[in-house]
Amino acid sequence: MAKANAVYAQSGGVTSVINGSAYGVIKAAQESGIIDNIYGGLYGINGVLEENLVDVSQENPADIDRLPYTPSAAFGSCRKKLPSLEKNRADFEKIIEVFKAHDVRYFFYNGGNDSMDTAHKISQLSHDMGYDVTCIGVPKTVDNDLPVTDNSPGFGSVAKYNAVSLREASFDVASMHHDSTKAFVAETMGRHAGWIAASTAMAGNNENEGPHIILLPEIAFREEAFLAEVERIRAKVGYCVVAVSEGLQNEAGKFVADAGTVDMFGHTQLGGAGDFISNLIKNKLGIKVHNALPDYFQRSGRHIASKTDVEQAIAVGKEAVHLAAKGLNGQMVTIVRDSDTPYSWSVGHTDIVNIANKEKVLPADYIREDGFHVTEAFRTYCQPLIEGELWPDYSGGIPVYSQLVRNLVPKKLG
C-alpha cells in the first residue's frame, strides 16, 4: 500500500475527551507505515472545504501528548451538515479536489451520526470520481445516542460531571431546606435521547438522595403526576431534587419549553426545560425553587473526566487508523462491552451506514415503570462508564491544557 497523507477533523458539539481521540489518531498515524503527513481540518469539515489544513508536524510534541488531558476540540469543531449529494454535489467535489491537491487518501472524521453521514458520502463520491479516499468514522457524542456501539466517547465524562455536580447540589439543598430551598432543578443536555439525564441517577445511593425525579424525553411529561410526585418526596425527605432533559416533551409531542407558556408581553417563552419545571413547581406548589443550567460546563469538564472514557476515546482513535491500514473503508469504530462484572471492553467496527442519521434512545428496561427514574439495569450499564480519574496537571491551581499553534499547510488550489 502506497503511503499518502491523512486528514483528521472534529465535528459537532465538543466533549471533554474528544482530544483523546485526536491523540489516538495522530499517534497511530505516525506509527502506521501508510501515512506520510497527518493534517487537521481547521473547524471540522470547514477546514477541508476552505483548504485550511493544520500541519500537525509543526506542533510541539508535548502539546500532542497533553491532548488527552485537554477538553474541547483542539483543531476546532463545526455544526456544518452537508446536504445530500443530489442537492449539493459541489461541496463534496471540492472536498475531493482538496484531498487530491494534498495527496490525502485517508480521512478520519470524529463526530456523531451526522458526521458519519458526511464520511460515508465522501467515501462514495471519491470512488465515483476515481480518487479513492479511505474514510473511517471515530465516534463521539455526549448524548450517547449512536447505535451499534455500546457507548460513545464523551458520554462517560458528561455523566460523571452531572452525577458529581448533582450529588454536591443535593447536599446543599438538604442542608438548607428547613427554612429555605425546598426544590432544586437541574437541566441536562439531551434533546431527543435521555442518556445524560438518566446518568444523574448515579448521584444518589438510595431513594432518599437526589435526584429524586428524572424527567426524560422518552416519557411524555404529565403535569399532575409530576407535581404529586414532588409532594410525595417532600413529605418523605423534606425536599426534592429534579433532573430534567432539555428535550422533555408533553403528551402532544411538543417540547415543554415551547408548550404555550408566555412572557409578560404575551410572547411565547423560549426558556429551557429547567425554567419550565422550576416555574411550574413554584407557581403550582408555592415553594422556593432553585434552577441550574450546566450547559457547556458539563461537556467540557475535563478536570473530572472518567478514566474509562478517556481510555476509550484514545482507543477508538487508534483503531480508526488500524482499520485503514487493514484496507477497510466506510467503517466506524465501535466499543464492545464484553462483560459487566468485572467490566471489560474491546473495540470493533460497523458500516457507517448503520450509524449515519440514526439515533439510539434510552431503552424501556432502563426506565422505571412510573417514568420518573431509572432501573437497576441502567445503573449496571452506566456505573463502569464513570469509573476512575485521569487528572490533568495543575499550575497555580488551574489545569494545564494544550493550545495548539495550528499552523496551516500552504494552499494549492488558489
Q: How far apart are the C-alpha atoms of 157 and 62, rounded to whole Å?
A: 24
Cα-based distances in Å from 69 to 18, 184, 403 = 10, 32, 11
Nearest to 142 by CA among 90, 94, 107, 194: 194
Active-site residue 143, yes or no? yes
Q: How far apart are the C-alpha atoms of 251 and 241, rounded to whole Å?
A: 23
Q: How far apart are the C-alpha atoms of 263 and 208, rounded to whole Å?
A: 35
The type of residue at 238 is G
- Peptide bond preceding 217: is omega within 30 degrees of 0, i.e. cis? no
Q: How far apart are the C-alpha atoms of 237 and 72, rounded to whole Å?
A: 39
> What are the backbone dihedrals phi and psi of residue 339, each rounded to the nearest 5 degrees, phi first?
-160, 145
- Sheet hosting strand 289-292, strand order edge to edge: 213-215, 240-245, 183-188, 289-292
Q: Match 500552504 to its residue by C-alpha cell.
A: 410
Q: How far apart are the C-alpha atoms of 154 and 140, rounded to whole Å?
A: 6
Residue 171 host element (H or E): helix 155-176
| Burial class of 309 by CB neighbour count within 10 A (0 to 12, 13 to 18, 19+) | buried
Residues 6+ apart with CB under 8 A from 19: 67, 68, 70, 71, 72, 73, 74, 402
3-state secondary structure of 284: helix
- Which one is catalytic: 63, 91, 103, 143? 143
How do beta strands 398-399 and 394-395 pair? antiparallel
Provide the grid cell at 310: 478517556
Residues 6+ apart with CB under 8 A from 47: 9, 40, 41, 53, 54, 75, 76
Q: How far apart are the C-alpha atoms of 278 and 186, rounded to whole Å?
A: 9
The residues carrying an active-site annotation are: 143
